Structure 1
């Protein structure tokens, strides 16, 4: 298998973490989740509610620190020729570009897996997570609406190594694996 850096990309509730965990177990590669790494930076457990801890972990500075941590974790894996998955929204072009540059510098294949779902499906998933309280994400319905405004469209260059997955589809796993194997085998 070709060594690769796979960045999951998409709005909250689009299925990124589910896809990341599926790919990590199927391809047997490590995955790092931005929600978990962000909370670790603030001394929180993965499912802790940052507001109950009286912490604002969603500042611009905290986001920069979180993406720096993801970069460091990916670099460590790629340096020993280990493929790696990064599960984050990657809404901004500069966040994706930095990872693309890391892949280039380490001689690694760079892929974006763009997760998509209907807006109501994303909102329902977020509401379910909130009720269950067992997820590292603290996303809200309001955040999905904001993210749509913040998201930088994928560039023509990024689209060349982008695999779109519609996580509502019945057989998304099979479709995704078939597309990924075209790049990595």
Structure 2
């Protein structure tokens, strides 16, 4: 919940000033548009004597190949840490790079719904166990996009349906497969979009 509030506050504060400076008469997307977007998140939780933190950043760049379809490149970095009574129990990082495709249901409107399918290559390391891993993931998520000005929009994806597989970097390691269905407030991600003219 803290992650949601922190991210929402940044989005609202950032676009309050942008909205006052931009004209909203021609907002929305169309064929040939190029955009960049990004999301930054931070979460912290304390349960009993367990303290955990997560930080992530996820930039994207996309191009509309038709009025309703955008394709693009995406990247990401996530860092996890946790400790019990001051003793580290988790200290890990993960990098991701991949591609995505989106279908927008009303792209020329100020408000639009979309669905997104992404495929990423991932590479990470667990510093405490001194083990690295590589893998890939596929994720599907619905989202909303709202233009607050001609060029700036806020977006959110809600929930996720995904599959990931990874394998540790040591002899004899077996692949780990995960299926994920996220339908709670921790699975809402907010981002900022800039559309080039």
Normalised to the residue count of structure 2, the TM-score between the two structures is 0.29
Asked which structure has the greater CA Rg, the reply is 2
Which has the larger share of strand?
A: 2
Which has the larger share of helix?
A: 1
Between the two structures, name the one with larger relative contact order (CA 8 Å, sep ≥ 6).
Answer: 1
Normalised to the residue count of structure 1, the TM-score between the two structures is 0.30
